[in-house]
Structure formats: C-alpha cells, structure tokens
Structure 1
Amino acid sequence: MAAKKKIILLLAAVCLLGVAAYWYSTFCREDNQGELVLQGNVDVREVSLAFRQSDRILEVLAEEGDRVQKGQVLARLDTCELNLQMQKLKAEIAAQQSTVDKLHNGTRPEEIQQARGNLSQARAAAEHAAGVYRRKQDIFNSIAGISQQELDNALHDMEAKNAALSAAEAALREAEAGPRQEDIAGAEAGLQALRDEQSRYNYLLSQYELQAPDDGVIRSRLLEAGDMASPAKPVFKLSLPGKKWVRAYVPETELGRIYEGQQARVYIDSQPGRAIEGQVGYISGTAEFTPKTVQTEELRTSLVYEVRVYVDDMDNVLRLGMPATVKIAGRGE
C-alpha cells in the first residue's frame, strides 16, 4: 500500500513538472522575447561658454531660457585697457611707416647739397691746415724759430682736418647712393611685426565678445556684469538643439535582447499615448551599479548597463532631465 502511494506521488510530481515546463515554454519564453520596457531620463548636448580672456564683465545680454542663434553676442568684457594698448600700437605703426617711406624715397636733394657744402668746408680746412704745417716746417728747418711742440701741433691739426675731409667725402657718397637695401628690409620687417601685433590685438578684442557657437537655448546664466571672467569660469551653459537621447539602464540578464540600431519608442508622462520614434545608439561595455535616479529597492545592488536611445524630437517636446519610458521590441517582432 505504501509503495502504491509513492508511485502515485511520483506520478503527480512528474505531471506538475510537465505542467510547469509547458507554462514556462509557453508564457515565460514569450515574455522574454517580447517588449522590453526601460525607465530613463532625457539628456541633451550642452556647451559651457567662457571668455578666452580674464577681465571684468561689462554686460550680459542673454537670460536663462532665451533662444539664441549662432554668432549672437551673449556678453562683453571691459575693453578700456586693451583700447589704450591698441592706440599706442597705432602710433608706433605710424612712426615706423614714416621711417620706411623715408628710406624708400631716398636722400632729399637738400641733404645732398648740405653734404657737398660740408665737404667743401672740410676740404678748405684741410688745405689750410696743410699750408700752416708746411710753413712751420720751413721755419723750423731754416732758422729754428719755432719749437718742436708747435710743429707737432700743426701736424696733428693737419691730420685731423684730413680725417674730417675723408668723413665728409664718405657722407656725400652715402647721401648720393641713398639708403642700403638692408636698411630698407630691416625697416619693413619692423613695420610688418607691428602690423602682426595689431592683428593679434584685433583678435583679442574679438574675444572680448562671447558669441554663441551654435543655435540653442540658454540653460544657465552663471556670471553677472561686474564679475571677473576667466577661461575657467563659464558664463553660460547652452543646450544645443541637435539630437536628444534618453539615458536608461538595462540589467545584465536583459542585455542580450538589445543591440545598436534597434528601433525603440519613447513615451513621456505629458503625452502617454504618443510615441516618439528612436533607436538604440549606444550600449555601455562596462557594468555599473544602478544610478540613484532610477533606483528601486530591488535594484539598489544590481549591476546594469547604460543604454542611450537617440530620438528626433521634431516638435521639441523633450526637456533636459525629463523622465521617459523606453519600449524596445523583441528581436522577433
């Protein structure tokens, strides 16, 4: 009798296992291959806009929420010091330009005439000094009427006058020949260096205006007029209008059900019946613990993978941080 009961119990257990296997193969397998539902938040591309220069902010021209266009001026720095430096540089350029023009024009006729007059004076002085020396030499040799010191002084004076004559002749030749090409080239190089410096100042002046790099929406205004700006301190955060995506997280057990390029539908609470078409564009290759923004009691210690579902928000209904539901069809659907 006991053996018969055991057989009956064994048959009942086999039947239960069979029913369980049928139920799993019929329902659970279909669920595993069915639609995958994920929860996430909308994300957008952002740019932190900061000045290239460090100076005091003169004015801020955009507010949070403003739609701006590419190239639009959003803020300006105080340019007083830079303008003073540019004025000084312009004066230096003007002076150097005058030097270059003078060298290109050559020696003026008046300067050549003056050099010739100086030569005539030097020649006359040299001839006079030579005559004085000869007379004193004759006196010294004939009657010793002068001292050796007087004769030496006359000789030195004659040599000095001859040296002055040589210098006057050289000055006339230089005046008639005009400036050397090397001097002209050096002056022109100096002028070009000053002009390059002016171009640099003009570029720096353009950087005193903070412009929008693309069309977008001002998300945050971080500094005000009177604040000191620097490259490390953003003035605005700009949300770009390009592709948006929903950042969601999938458990490792479901990772095999999704792939890049897979079609997906995104739903938001304000329009629960309207799907926004998208596709899986990124699947993280590294597991991480469930972020606090999507944690539940069951998932606090679970390892998940980040998934980004990119959407074309043609009607611009998605906002940064907005919660969204992502539904991804199974591979067989």
Structure 2
Amino acid sequence: MKTNLYTRFAAAIILVAIASCGAPAPNNKEGKVKRESISVTTKIPGRINTLLVQEGELVKKGDTLAILDIPEVDAKIAQAQGAVRSAAAQYEMTERGATANQLKQLQAKHDALKEQFEFAQKSFRRVEAMFTDSLVSPQTYDEAFAKYQGARAQYQAVIAELDEAKSGVRRENRLMALGQQERASGALREAEVAANERYVIAPTDMTIETITLHVGELATPGYALFNGYLPGSTWFRFTLPENEIGAVQQGQDVDIYIPYLREHTKGTVTLIKQLTKYANVTTAYPEYEMEQAVYEIKVVPQQQEIAQKLLNNATVTLN
C-alpha cells in the first residue's frame, strides 16, 4: 500500500516537472513570426510550358516566373489582323470615293439611259398625237406612256448615282467605315495584350514559397501559381487578454526571444487592436476569462537582417 502511494507521488512530481519545463515563463507571452504574403495569379487560361523559378528563390520585380502555352490567343491575333486589313481597305475606299473606271461605267450607263429616255419620250409624243386624232387605241397609248415613265425613272436614278459618285461618299458612310476600323484595331490590341499574358511576371520583389502547378498542367484564370512573402515584411504577432494589455503601449520597445535560435532581438510595438473571434488567437497558452476582450499585438523587429533569417510561424516570446 505504501509502495503504491510512493509511486503515485513520484509520478505526480514528474508530471509537474514536465509541465513546468514545457510551459513558458509566467511573464513571457508566446507569439509567432509572420510575414506579408503575396500570390501571383493568371488572367487567362493556359498550360504551363516553362517554369523559370524554384521554391525558396528570391525574385525581383519584373522577373519572368513562368511561360504559358495559349494557342487560342494566336488564332485570335490572326483573325484580328485580317479584320484590321479589311476595315482599313473599306475606310480607304470611302475616303477616295469612286475610281476612274467606276465613273466611266456610270457615265456610259447614264448616256445609254439618256438615249432610251429620249427615244421613249419621242415615241410617246407621236402616240399621244395619234391618240388625240383617235388613230390608236387606249391600250397602245397606255403602253407608250408606261415605257416613257419607266425610261424617265431609270434616267433620273442614274443621274443621282453619277452625282453621288462625283461628289464623294456620304459623311455617315465614312464615319461608319472609320468606326469599323477602330473596332478592328481594338480587337487586335486586346488579342496582343492577351498574348503578353503568357508570361507570368513577378509584380514585386518576393521570396517564392510554393509553386502550385507543374509543367503541362492547366492554369485557370485567377488561380494562384506562385505564393510567397515580401522581403522586409517580417513581424511578430502576440495575443494578450484584457487584464494584461495595460503593460503594453503602442511605440514601446520590447525584447523578443527566439527559442529555436536561442537569440534575443529588439522590436517596437506598432499596432494594438481587438480581436473579434477566439479562433484568431494564436497564443499557445490563452489564459484569460471568456468575458475578457483579446487584443492582437504587432511588433516590428528593429533589426531586419536578423528577422530575415527567421522561419515563418516560428514561436517567439515577448518578455
């Protein structure tokens, strides 16, 4: 019986010792190393043709990260180029008006219809005189009159057509042709912009953390191909309950301990804000009453050269 009591007592002492070794010091609050993240996405769908970077690599703004294979864009460019040439020719034709050969054809048509009209007019006058003397029937008179009216209408139409050809194309037709040319040029520019999207460019300096697709896989619009972190954006995140937040002030210099490196560094409190959800609390030991408000503390390291070598989400303590 005594042996069992001694055994239980020894086990309790060991558990207390283990708990005391694993828990942080009462005055130290645990937090995490954070960095500002960035994602690089695509605007148009395409298959990965070439990957030019690797995970962990530091890239500069404007560097090409990947090249996509987009055969549909090449077809659209060819279509747009054809539409531009067609619209340009149409507009040029409206600017120049009728050609010399077209004017010759219209003039010949005008002369022929003029002869037909004069002949029909003479014939009608003869029939009209004979109809007055009752020498022809009303049917013959009506036929001669119909031929005269038809010849006159055709002659007037060719006069108007010839005048329009000589005076040039209407302003409305020129504007319509110009609009078609501008529309075709816009479609070509749009296709050329889409063609440039085959090159995935780094929007800023960044460290590549993950590459989500491999060569040959399809990238859909808006899909994040690359995820990374912004250089010089390292900071420390702590969460404190309402009854402890009074010990921290914005602008205050604090001491940060990095357990896995066994190093200390200095930081400055730049932000204190209230959290609205318990799930946002990242402190390993959230010892506070449920009715208390919880605050996020943002600490920016004073020595970025030390902060750059820290691992993301590594544990740190606020002393």
Q: Is TM-score (shorter-chain normalized) higher than 0.5?
A: yes
Structure 1 residue 70: Cα displacement: 0.9
Q: Deviations over 1:79-108 (max 9, x none)?
A: 211211121111111111011111222332
Given the alignment, which residue of 287, 308, 315 partners 1:299?
Answer: 287
Q: SS at 1:253's partner residue?
A: coil
Contact residue 29 and residue 283 of structure 2 kept, 8 A: no
Structure 1 residue 291: Cα displacement: 7.0
Find out whether 1:319 has 2:311 as its counterpart: yes
Q: Distance in 2 between matches of 1:252 and 1:142?
A: 124
Contact residue 289 and residue 301 of structure 1 kept, 8 A: no
Q: Distance in 2 between matches of 1:54 and 1:129?
A: 70
**Counterpart position of 2:22:** none
**Counterpart position of 2:5:** none
Alignment root-mean-square deviation, CA:
2.6
The one-letter amino acid of 1:67's match is: L
**Counterpart position of 1:101:** 92
Find out whether 1:233 has 2:233 as its counterpart: no
Structure 1 residue 39: Cα displacement: 2.0
Contact residue 239 and residue 282 of structure 2 kept, 8 A: no
Find out whether 1:253 has 2:243 as its counterpart: yes
Structure 1 residue 214: Cα displacement: 0.8
Structure 1 residue 65: Cα displacement: 1.1
Contact residue 42 and residue 324 of structure 1 kept, 8 A: yes
Q: SS at 1:283's partner residue?
A: strand
Q: SS at 1:96's partner residue?
A: helix
Normalising by structure 1, what TM-score?
A: 0.78
Given the alignment, which residue of 135, 139, 144 partners 1:154?
Answer: 144
Q: Identify which range, 39-48 or 55-64, moves more after superposition.
A: 55-64
Q: Distance in 1 between matches of 2:166 and 2:242?
A: 93
Q: Deviations over 1:37-92 (max 9, x none)?
A: 33222110101222122344333332211211112222233321121112111111
**Counterpart position of 2:188:** 198
Q: Distance in 2 between matches of 1:195 and 1:289?
A: 56
Q: Distance in 1 between matches of 2:240 and 2:209?
A: 29
Contact residue 67 and residue 217 of structure 1 kept, 8 A: yes
Q: Percent identity?
A: 24
**Distance change >3 Å, CA 141–CA 254, structure 1 → 2:** closer
Q: Distance in 1 between matches of 2:253 and 2:282?
A: 25
**Count of aligned residue pairs for this structure pair:** 290
Q: SS at 1:183's partner residue?
A: helix
In our comparison, the structure showing a higher alpha carbon Rg is: 1
Contact residue 220 and residue 238 of structure 1 kept, 8 A: yes
**Counterpart position of 2:54:** 63
Given the alignment, which residue of 265, 275, 297 partners 1:286?
Answer: 275
Q: Distance in 2 between matches of 1:201 and 1:227?
A: 23
Structure 1 residue 250: Cα displacement: 2.6
Structure 1 residue 36: Cα displacement: 5.4
Structure 1 residue 189: Cα displacement: 1.8
Find out whether 1:184 has 2:137 as its counterpart: no
Contact residue 30 and residue 284 of structure 2 kept, 8 A: no
**Counterpart position of 2:6:** none
The one-letter amino acid of 1:194's match is: A
**Counterpart position of 1:112:** 103
Q: Distance in 2 between matches of 1:225 and 1:158?
A: 80
Which residues of 2 match residues 209-228 of structure 1 at below 5 A?
Answer: 209-228=199-218
Q: Distance in 2 between matches of 1:209 and 1:80?
A: 14
Q: Deviations over 1:266-316 (max 9, x none)?
A: 33235424x3332011223237659786434x8387765321211242252
**Counterpart position of 1:123:** 114
Q: Identify which range, 312-321 or 125-134, moves more after superposition.
A: 312-321
Q: Is there any run of 5+ residues in structure 1 with no aligned partner, and where?
A: 1-34, 328-333
Q: Distance in 2 between matches of 1:320 and 1:286?
A: 21
Q: Deviations over 1:114-164 (max 9, x none)?
A: 2222111111010111122223334444463x4332322221111111111
Structure 1 residue 112: Cα displacement: 2.3
Find out whether 1:50 has 2:41 as its counterpart: yes
The one-letter amino acid of 2:195's match is: L
